[in-house]
Amino acid sequence: MGRNKLWRFEINASRRNVIEEGKEIFSTIKGQWRPYFENTNDLVLELGCGRGEYTTGMAAEYPHRNFIGVDIKGARMWKGSTVAVENNLSNVAFLRIRMFQLLDFFEAGEVNEIWMTFPDPRMKDQDEKHRLTNVEHFKRYRQILKPGSIFRLKTDNYPLYEYTLEVLKNPELTISELVHTDDLYQNPGLLAEHHGIQTTYERKFLKEGSKINYLRFRLW
Ligand SMILES: C[S@@+](CC[C@H](N)C(=O)[O-])C[C@H]1O[C@@H](n2cnc3c(N)ncnc32)[C@H](O)[C@@H]1O
């Protein structure tokens, strides 16, 4: 492992806003997010947050909501954690887990909104079980969300966008108010919803000429 990565891991270990294995709070945080933030405000998750541009960007814009970036990669998370510390964003936390563990870290109905930003598409058939927008993952997201809360997805990957729209037709999921576009930057109505925030991967994909797909709906 590179020295830079190790150094970032050491800093994460000392940071209150990084919740990861090895810290006492890792086993006690479920159902305790509001006491952790010392308020009773909404919780918004950014799943697969990487460096957490939505987590920190939205936290600065909405000081009366709490934002939690979830990812397994600690070195990326260090960046978002650092931005939060440098900007005194006390409404930000990062949770280092794999997505299938979500139910161990959030009570049913504890979460008020989910953003998923540029998940790895994993479009090979044998990888569907790892795809973060498969039915099983959506059933998990539904459990931790307050019924009828908003779920948003931004992706450069058109097959993943189409796949996700198909998954949402599954009778085991109840959704409403679905809106979507395969070209966010040409859709002024929906563009307003992205808050002008671009993630690291989004900037890379835009440079390569990709269109950005976006969808938003309520999940019951
Ligand atoms: C393509 S990156 C996007 C990162 C960031 N959202 C962005 O747009 O720059 C996908 C991220 O999802 C995370 N990820 C993928 N599968 C995951 C899983 N099962 N559990 C936790 N994180 C996962 C990866 O670690 C990675 O940081």
Structural domain that includes position 61: 3-219
The number of C-alpha atoms within 13 Å of 139 and in the hemisphere containing its C-beta is: 7
Query: Ligand 1 centre from 116 Cα, in Å?
Result: 9
Residue 219 contacts residue 149 (beta carbons within 8 Å): yes
Tell whether ligand 1 has an atom less than 6 A from the beta carbon of residue 49: yes
Residue 73 to residue 145: CA distance in whole angstroms: 23
147-166: b (≥16 Cβ within 10 Å) or e: eebbbbbbbbbeebbebbbe
Tell whether ligand 1 has an atom less than 6 A from the beta carbon of residue 75: no
182 is catalytic: no
Catalytic residue among 120, 156, 182, 183: 120
Residue 106 to residue 86: CA distance in whole angstroms: 27
Task: Give the ranges where 149-216 is alpha helix by DSSP (H).
Answer: 158-167, 188-191, 200-207
Order of strands across the sheet with 42-47?
A: 18-19, 92-96, 65-71, 42-47, 111-117, 145-155, 213-219, 175-181
What per-residue confidence (pLDDT) applies to 126?
97
Residue 94 contacts residue 68 (beta carbons within 8 Å): yes
Atom 13, ligand 1: residue with shortest CA distance: 48
Q: How many domains does the chain have?
A: 1
What per-residue confidence (pLDDT) applies to 187?
98
What per-residue confidence (pLDDT) applies to 1?
81
198 conformational bin, left if phi > 0, alpha if psi -120 to 50, beta if neither? beta
Atom 27, ligand 1: residue with shortest CA distance: 50
Q: Pocket of ligand 1, candidates 55, 56, 58, 72: which has the most ligand atoms within 8 Å of its Cβ, to mutate?
A: 72
CATH number at residue 128: 3.40.50.150
For residue 58, what are the CA distances in angstroms to 46, 156, 190?
A: 10, 21, 17
Residue 110 contacts residue 58 (beta carbons within 8 Å): no
Report the nearest atom of ligand 1 relative to the CA of 73.
Answer: 25
Tell whether ligand 1 has an atom less than 6 A from the beta carbon of residue 99: yes
What per-residue confidence (pLDDT) applies to 161?
98
Tell whether ligand 1 has an atom less than 6 A from the beta carbon of residue 66: no
Query: Ligand 1 centre from 35 Cα, in Å?
Result: 27
Tell whether ligand 1 has an atom less than 6 A from the beta carbon of residue 73: yes
pLDDT in tens, the chain (220 residues): 889 999 999 999 999 999 999 999 999 999 999 999 999 999 999 999 999 999 999 999 999 999 999 999 999 999 999 999 999 999 999 999 999 999 999 999 999 999 999 999 999 999 999 999 999 999 999 999 999 999 999 999 999 999 999 999 999 999 999 999 999 999 999 999 999 999 999 999 999 999 999 999 999 9
